[in-house]
Structure 1
Amino acid sequence: MSRASRYDRQIRVASFGTEGQDRLLASRVAIIGVGALGSRVAEDLARSGVGYIRLVDRDFVELGNLHRQHLYDEHDAEREEPKVLAAAARLSTINSDIEIDARLADLDAAQADALLDGVDLVIDGTDNFRTRYLVNDWSVREQRPWIYGACVGTEAMAAAFLPGRACLRCMFPEPPPAESTATCETAGILPPAVALATTLQTMLAFSVLTEPGSVPTKFYACSTATGEIRSFDLPSQSAAACPACALRTFPALDVDTAGDAQVLCGRNAVQLTTQSEHSLEALAERFRDHAPELRKQMLRIDLPEGRITVFRGGRAIVQGTDDIARARALFDRYIGD
């Protein structure tokens, strides 16, 4: 299939044309999180011909994801397939001419450079402010644009943060307390809200990649319940006391304060960053009586107290508890550090 026929309908748009298409094909984008937001944006960008798409996600496909998350099906949920691998496989069948780079990883301060470097744009598909502030701090430090997105209940939000302008910390110096923000686990989520948020994110991504001088500098907030779409101008100048823009401290990139354990919202699970990388093959042999499931990137072990999933690279998820101390104790008892 020729490039002209694949992208003909968007090339016909006068304001886009062959120049816009060539810019998309030359672009490199990282999408952090390929759940509700990230999977839809990834599909739109892949179909549109963005030349390189890096997918970063730590999670697995579950049945409860399917009503709002594109690219996945019941087979993926039954196998608890890592989202990045399922998404990459699907995207490769949608557009085999582009490069899909799947990274089964948790974006944290220690891995920020490895997971974010080498791209023109970072797109937020996460569900937590910890990671958003990390993306913000890295983007300010490296002078890269990034696109925020969020949806919960019937509400959708999006904004583009550009180098040289106000960043997320300029408006909100610190992340809000976790208990003060609604999540899809507590307030639910309707697919139209996801579609609105991702449409705005894709619109902003097109603008950043093909018309960087005319990117809308607004914060968009939409309601699928009322049909109302509101927009607010983002500050053009950085705040004088901004920890990132003005003080250049980048708190979220401080490895010493990033933390090595995190409760996974709504999952009854805790993620641990271990001190050393374990041989998955050796662990599979050690736990052969528990019918371990060994895959290329990870090992699952079902134990009486819950499930432990160990990843190459030193990350683990302990399922069956949301208590960090108990999760560490179970990991140390069975796996060791």
Structure 2
Amino acid sequence: MSTVYVLVEHTGTELAPVTAELITAARPLGEVTAVVVGAPGETQALAPQLAEAGAATVVAAESDLNASRLILPQVDALSMLAAAAPGPIVISGGPTGNEIAGRLAARLASGVLIDVVGINADRTAAQSVFGDTIQVSAAVGGASPIYTLRPGVVDAVPQAAAGAVTALELPAVTAKDVTVTNFTPAVRGDRPDLTQAKIVVAGGRGVGSTEGFTEVVEKLADALGAAVGATRDAVDLEYYDASYQIGQTGVTVSPDLYIGLGISGAIQHTSGMQTAKKVVVVNNDEDAPIFQIADLGVVGDLFEVVPKLVDEINTRK
């Protein structure tokens, strides 16, 4: 049976939710080999979780130096494995994953497909393009085609496998390495990760201010246990941090429920959220384009509608 390599996303002791999605998406391509790039000992902690998710083999590409290096440890590990035993490679989509994919494609002389939403046994992949308005099937050549999967588009289906652990020694650090001398970790709140959240509450220009996000968007999100998102306009106006931007120049979300507040529905934003299963919007302009993709639309003042909704949700808890 052929082998497919999956780059594991993890925190050291826990798998990121997208890893199970990657393993599920990769399974039609062959027997899954999960590649863990991390510090010594981390693979042993992650191996049982990876086996439960469906990894037949777990490769420990560990080094004390990995935490201070960027990109190259992952590229080295995957390229070494694929050069020795060619097979498809599946990576989480995003700035880092896409750069890893590009470097691997150059090393392995194989094609790469970015931001796929599904992978087929014949090595073709589904892509949602032009603002998610057109679905296409794409194929690339090479012995080790590379795919970056959009987080949140595949439902993880665990399928227990052996999870046998093997070690891989990484090459020594070279002058080409970018070395991290210090960093400040991002402060993570109690809300779900935006790309993985089942419910997303997003605010746009109509929210009006940073205070509007705090008092309206965040309060509704917290009542629902949801993640908070923002449009590009809201970010440009400095109502909310750019890391929460949804759309063509932000992140793509596919929640079970998306609630848009004060959002007009420009393609820049809707391209990043219209795969949500249910879309609910509140806007005082009945002609706003976002109503065209909404399952439920409320024409009204969000500052009147949302507080009443929050109160009703809280009374039913």
TM-score (norm 1): 0.29
Q: Which has the higher helix share?
A: 1
TM-score (norm 2): 0.31
